[in-house]
Chains A and B, each alone.
Chain A
Amino acid sequence: MSILVDRNTRVICQGITGKAGAFHTRGCLEYGTQMVAGVTPGKGGESMEGVPVFDTVREAVQKTGANATMIFVPAPYTADAILEALAAEIGVIIAITEGVPALDMVYVYEQVRRSSSVLIGPNCPGIITPGQCKIGIMPGYIHRPGPVGVISRSGTLTYEAVWQLTNLGLGQSTCVGLGGDPIVGTSFVDLLRRFQDDPATEAILMMGEIGGTAEEEAAAFVKANVTKPVAAFIAGRTAPPGKRMGHAGAIISGGKGTASEKIAALESAGIVVAESPADMGAAVQRAMHARK
């Protein structure tokens, strides 16, 4: 078991003929993901690494039965690409593209919420169920199948955490990168609920960062609804206020969204918080041990 994707997931890539789209479609194929089609308007009929390319998502879904998509189209067209996938009723939409205008996402978010589809991203590394299905840009070899569900707002920090878990002998059920933008399709809370309901997940690791209130909302949800052990890390303890730390969302403004507020909220919900980013894997071990 896992959440959202598994070995039966049939994936298309929107923007498959672009440089990043092609490179990472290859990576997903090598990992064993069922990459069944690609979409690039105007390039229908071609193929990429044996994967057929279509002009529209609708056609790709009709001809291949795809139920997930990985989006690499340039930022100005990403909102349109997500809405196209939504209209074609693709259940799991993963938008990797970074640099999407925030106001574009207001409409997209509303449409996603009204549908039964799930949007992960934009500006995210993707999702992986180790040994079964990788949709995104993460290096596959660092993962191994196991009991820990991983959720993060950041890409490379997730790899770091996963690598620590794997080296400690703790595999992962599913790992999801939510994305670093102010508005993303899926929140910590959405995924905490899924991991709580997933029998294969025994513990959860979540990595947040400064800015916004998503971590505080996650803490409140864990306190009320999650019975499985949870560990966490918050990036940006040393970030000065008013400076944007790379992610559009990672900024302390008006004294709000600081790491210490988030850590306090997490700890009060009984979550084991790692002090050092080198300690994320061990924090999961501690959280699991405390429950035994």
Chain B
Amino acid sequence: MKIHEFQAKQILRKAQVAVPRSLVAATPEEAHAAFLELGGPLAVVKAQIHAGGRGKGHVAGHPDHRGVQLVRSADQAAAVARQLLNQPLVTIQTGPEGRVVRRVLVEEGCDIARELYLGIVLDRAAAKPVVMASSQGGMEIEKVAAETPDLIFREHFDPRVGLLSYQVRNLCQQLELSGASVRSAEAFMKALCRAFVDLDGTLLEINPLVVTSKGDLLALDAKMSFDDNALFRHPQLTELRDLEEEEPTEIRASKAGLSYVKLDGNIACLVNGAGLAMSTMDLIKLHGGEPANFLDVGGGADVDQVTEAFRILLSDSNVRAVLVNIFGGIMRCTTIATALVQAYKTVGFNVPLVVRLEGTEVEQGRKIIAESGVNIISAEGLTDAAKKVVAVAG
């Protein structure tokens, strides 16, 4: 689960991580008041969307209405807020249609001596969280990693112990921080690691991490996302979810406990298991079709959940055909078959359905479909299924 910058900064402030003072505004008037409250002489107005590249991004059709702007008066803060609010902001991560800005963050300006990068992720290969730091702040870390990999410094840490003092000193030496900055870094980095662990983070990125002229460290930007599997122990985080930032069909799917990702093609697929679902997409493409989605109904879904899956697929107006590819394990073919019949009876099928069933309770599943009289195209094996569905999708 992703959250906005302003939410991440609220969390970090509570966790004793140094962040600049800031206020959220949903109207130009609020932005005006925020500037006065912060007291000037300058502030930064930042569009709040779940996508990176906001500083270089701009409102669609207005190249000079940038997503992050420096302002020197309350009136100017209001004017920038007016440019951004309720407008689609286009960045390298949003696609050409952009993402509508519903809030801006008004933040006090700070004097910047240096800009660094600090990130925490789970390193799968080491099976431990890792702090990554770089002196190339403000740049995309992927670019730094690709071009100058030796400028990224890493320290793995044990989540139960947190980052240790010597690890902070190692990083400081590599980042060329000294004196007061080392003390500031110790508090900053340790608190950041604690916040990552305490909230089951999957990513915590501070880019840029600013060193002020006094030598203090300050999180100028903050990006945070959380482990969906651990949300049960952080009920307060689910309130931070911004449904307006998500695809409506994906929200509907997640409510039904389904794993669904909308894509641009016209062949819908309903599959059990993530690996087989990905492979089914690959297969459709290999035979000249375009998948309309990734959908894994999982193993534990019941008839109602699978019926909802059919409804979600059929609600996509781009869809010209549906491929059902089930290899039953935990999922029983009878569950899929019963749901298929139920979906047919309640919503009807306005596009052809190609069905490939194999695995647990396959014979009974095939029987349920045959006896229901629902008109389907049955397929034997993957290639047969792919050829048939690409043909009927036209």
Contacts and interface: CB of A to CB of B under 8 A. Distances in A.
A255 B283 contact: no
B124 A235 contact: no
A183 B122 contact: yes
A276 B383 contact: yes
Interface stretch (A153-161, A190-198, A221-229): A153-161
A63 interface: no
A105 B123 CA distance: 12
B243 interface: no
Nearest to A209: B275
A110 B160 CA distance: 12
Nearest to A211: B124
A109 B128 CA distance: 9
B286 A275 contact: yes
A156 B272 contact: yes
A146 interface: no
Contacts of B227: 101-103, 248
B127 A100 contact: no
A159 B229 contact: no
Given A103-B230, A254-B141, A157 B300 contact: no
B112 interface: no
B339 to A, nearest CB: 17
B234 to A, nearest CB: 10
Contacts of A244: 261
Contacts of B360: 139
Contacts of A233: 279
Interface string A111-125: 000000000000001
A278 B283 contact: yes
A180 B358 contact: no
Given A139-B329, A254-B142, A246 B274 contact: yes
Interface residues of B, number: 58
A277 interface: yes
B382 A106 contact: no
Interface in A91-146: 98-107, 109-110, 125, 137-139, 142
A137 B300 CA distance: 12
Given A107-B159, A277-B282, A125 B125 contact: no
A2 to B, nearest CB: 20
Interface in A234-264: 235-240, 242-250, 254-256
Interface stretch (B80-88, B179-187, B291-299): B291-299
B202 A278 contact: no
B270 to A, nearest CB: 12
The interface centre, meaning the residue of B141, B159, B278, B286 with most chain A CB atoms within 10 A of its CB, is: B278
B294 A239 contact: yes
A110 B276 CA distance: 30
Contacts of A254: 141-142, 145
A44 interface: no
A180 B233 CA distance: 22
Nearest to B51: A242
Interface in B115-165: 122, 124-125, 127-129, 141-142, 145-146, 158-160
A202 interface: no
A102 B281 CA distance: 27
A54 interface: no
Contacts of A210: 278
A246 B229 contact: no
B157 to A, nearest CB: 10
Contact of B282 (A236, A243, A248): A236
Interface string B292-330: 001010111000000000000000000000000001111
A212 interface: yes
Contacts of A246: 259, 273-274, 277-278, 294, 296
B324 to A, nearest CB: 13
A137 B299 CA distance: 10
Contacts of B278: 209-210, 235-236, 238-239, 245-246, 250
B229 A106 contact: no
A10 interface: no
B359 interface: yes
B281 A238 contact: yes
B166 interface: no
B123 to A, nearest CB: 9
A65 interface: no
B277 A139 contact: no
Contacts of B299: 98, 137, 155
Nearest to A246: B274
A277 B300 contact: no
A109 B127 contact: yes
Given A139-B328, A212-B125, A157 B229 contact: no
Given A237-B285, A245-B278, A247-B274, A75 B127 contact: no
Nearest to A27: B360
B327 A24 contact: no
Contacts of A158: 275
Contacts of A237: 282, 285
Listed residue (B93, B272, B283, B383) with the most chain A CB atoms within 10 angstroms of its CB = B283
Contacts of B327: 156, 159-160, 163
B21 to A, nearest CB: 31
A157 B291 contact: no
B277 to A, nearest CB: 6
Given A76-B232, A125-B329, A243-B261, A103 B200 contact: yes
A147 interface: no
Nearest to A19: B300
Given A209-B275, A235-B278, A255-B142, A159 B200 contact: no
Contacts of B197: 103
Interface of B: 93, 122, 124-125, 127-129, 141-142, 145-146, 158-160, 197, 200, 202, 227-230, 232-233, 259, 261, 263, 271-283, 285-286, 291, 294, 296, 298-300, 327-330, 358-360, 381-383, 386
User: 5 tightest A-B contacts by CB?
Assistant: A154-B275, A246-B274, A156-B273, A157-B275, A101-B230
12 contacts: A20-B300, A76-B233, A102-B202, A106-B129, A138-B329, A156-B275, A235-B279, A242-B93, A245-B278, A247-B275, A277-B282, A278-B386
Given A160-B327, A246-B294, 4 more contacts: A137-B299, A154-B273, A155-B299, A212-B124
